[in-house]
Structure 1
Amino acid sequence: METYIIVLLCIASFFAGFVDAIVGGGGLIQTPVAMILMPNLSVASIIGSLKIPAFSGTSFAAFQYLKQVVLNWKLLILMSVLAFGAAFGGSALLTVVSNDFMKPLLFFILIGLAIYTFKKKNFGQQQEKSHSVKRQMVYAVVISILVGFYDGFIGPGTGSFLVLGFVSILGFDFLHASANAKMVNLATNFGSICLFVIKGKIIWAFAIPMAFCNAFGGWLGAKLAIKKGNTFIRKFFLFVVILTLLRFGYDVFFA
């Protein structure tokens, strides 16, 4: 592989880690770049290889959040275990079928999400604990399985969907939602990595240098998010959702 390709991939990976640490969606940056620069590789090989830098960046971001944000570990462990299994299954399915049929559905979901987030100014600005422990557990199980499978099968935007679920359904504020999303995203990435390693789909020549760059971006993004707080994260979340919308819109109507 030529040096300039690895350099471009590393630059994309840094920005992906930075964005992903704040609100998720880093895959929207590094995935299309990788597919453009390496058109001869299979989708499974690209997605599988990109899970390595994604895991690295998420790890550094999660560590920063853990130092500042108090988490419900009982709930988090349950979500992480379920998300791991769901991502493993999603990645297994990706190796045998195409995921293109999901893009039109995601496009319209994202339109609604962008409108809702923009109109509801207090969305995710404070924690709303209106659920019983049992109901919260049920919602957490559903979110973990659905988003975990999505990450293994499709990938880009997983962190954003986790943040959305934690804010809109579980009632977290953006800071706590981002912190929990990082931890669950670690589990989904690890689940996919296990599957892709077993299948021999990971190309380590570019996965490892990208991992270092993604980690630095994740560390920097998490520190900024913690410093700026909920209002900043909300604005960044809306920005990433709109970019996600544009990306899927292009795939649906022009690709």
Structure 2
Amino acid sequence: MLEFAVVTVASLFAGFVDAIVGGGGLILVPALFGTFPSAAPATLFGTNKGAAVWGTAWATVQYARRVEMVWSALVPAAVAALVGSALGAWTVTVVPPEGLRKALPLILLGVLLYTLAKKDLGREHTRPFRGRAEAWIASAIGLVIGFYDGFFGPGTGSFFVFLFVRLLGYDFLHASASAKLLNTATNLSALALFIAKGHIWWHYALAMAVANVAGSLLGTRLALKHGTGFVRGVFLLVVGALILKTGYDAFLLT
């Protein structure tokens, strides 16, 4: 019961953070590894996806009711993200991600510094591209970050948010809403692979999924209530935490 309580509470908080700006894995994955240190990593990752996919899907629905979603761009982008995630998951079986693991903290640091330097970044919803151009750029984002999610993963939601802001001119609220749809696609792709390989604990995943949806509901409501400035602030906090976590894992963890 203690194990159930720990991972369920962690899933609640992960859903809350993930719904606002992504980065829920920063909470839930360490909680799973800390609670079940002797379990197979693939099983823990599969159980994480089994919970997280419900939170991201629920957040997508909630955002879609209140925020303009450019479906003509986001649907092909979600398909591209799903394909990219599958390709990334296959690639990691033949190429170790060690180089990316060490580069990731530096990439995230660049994202953080750029966002801090551009104080107006993501405050206005401008959308300089429309129609096919917007769909192609969104699909490229989906394919590249989807591949990254399947290959490695940490900070996927935050990368989606940043690129939607930087490349498509979305404000942070619209970018976060759009990122949820793409993140749902990448989670589904990874989850299908883990299920096919038998790497999921359904009894934990189901309880965690309920908690993740509850956290997602709270996070989505806060983001919608407080708007772009709030989401931007949480984005900076999450990226900062990701820099510390990935930097520790890459350079200090033995």
Match of 2:208 in 1: 210
1:40 corresponds to 2:38: yes
Match of 1:28 in 2: 26
1:250 corresponds to 2:248: yes
Partner letter of residue 137 of structure 2?
Y
- Structure 1 contact 26–156 (Cα < 8 Å) conserved: no
Q: In structure 2, how many angstroms separate the alpha carbons of the residues matched to 1:58 and 1:134?
A: 26
Q: In structure 1, how many angstroms separate the alpha carbons of the residues matched to 2:31 and 2:81?
A: 26
Q: Deviations over 1:215-234 (max 9, x none)?
A: 10001100100000001111
Match of 1:220 in 2: 218
- Structure 1 contact 88–194 (Cα < 8 Å) conserved: no
| Structure 1 residue runs without a partner (length 5+) | none
Q: In structure 2, how many angstroms separate the alpha carbons of the residues matched to 1:7 and 1:165?
A: 36
Q: Deviations over 1:116-165 (max 9, x none)?
A: 11121111001223235443333212211111112222223111110011
**Range moving further from structure 2, 150-159 or 237-246:** 150-159
Q: In structure 1, how many angstroms separate the alpha carbons of the residues matched to 2:60 and 2:133?
A: 26
Supply the RMSD in Å over aligned alpha carbons: 1.5
Alignment length (residue pairs): 253
> Given the superposition, is the C-alpha separation of residues 169 and 114 from structure 1 closer, same or farther in structure 2, using an over 3 Å criterion?
same
Partner letter of residue 33 of structure 2?
M
- Structure 2 contact 15–214 (Cα < 8 Å) conserved: yes
2:53 aligns with one of 55, 60, 76: 55
Q: In structure 1, how many angstroms separate the alpha carbons of the residues matched to 2:98 and 2:216?
A: 28
Q: In structure 2, how many angstroms separate the alpha carbons of the residues matched to 1:118 and 1:209?
A: 38
Q: Deviations over 1:11-37 (max 9, x none)?
A: 111110000000001011101111122
Q: In structure 1, how many angstroms separate the alpha carbons of the residues matched to 2:222 and 2:247?
A: 30
**Range moving further from structure 2, 19-28 or 187-196:** 187-196
SS at match of 2:23: coil
SS at match of 2:154: coil
Q: Deviations over 1:160-179 (max 9, x none)?
A: 11001100111111111011
| Structure 2 residue runs without a partner (length 5+) | none
Q: In structure 1, how many angstroms separate the alpha carbons of the residues matched to 2:101 and 2:144?
A: 16
Deviation at 1:199, TM superposition (A): 1.2
> Given the superposition, is the C-alpha separation of residues 5 and 98 from structure 1 closer, same or farther in structure 2, using an over 3 Å criterion?
farther
Percent identity between the aligned chains?
A: 42
Match of 1:77 in 2: 75
Q: In structure 1, how many angstroms separate the alpha carbons of the residues matched to 2:35 and 2:99?
A: 24
Partner letter of residue 7 of structure 2?
L
Partner letter of residue 171 of structure 1?
G
Q: TM-score, normalised by structure 2?
A: 0.94
Q: In structure 1, how many angstroms separate the alpha carbons of the residues matched to 2:20 and 2:78?
A: 19
1:106 aligns with one of 100, 104, 107: 104
Match of 1:120 in 2: 118
Q: Deviations over 1:173-229 (max 9, x none)?
A: 111101110111111111111111111111212111111111100011001000000
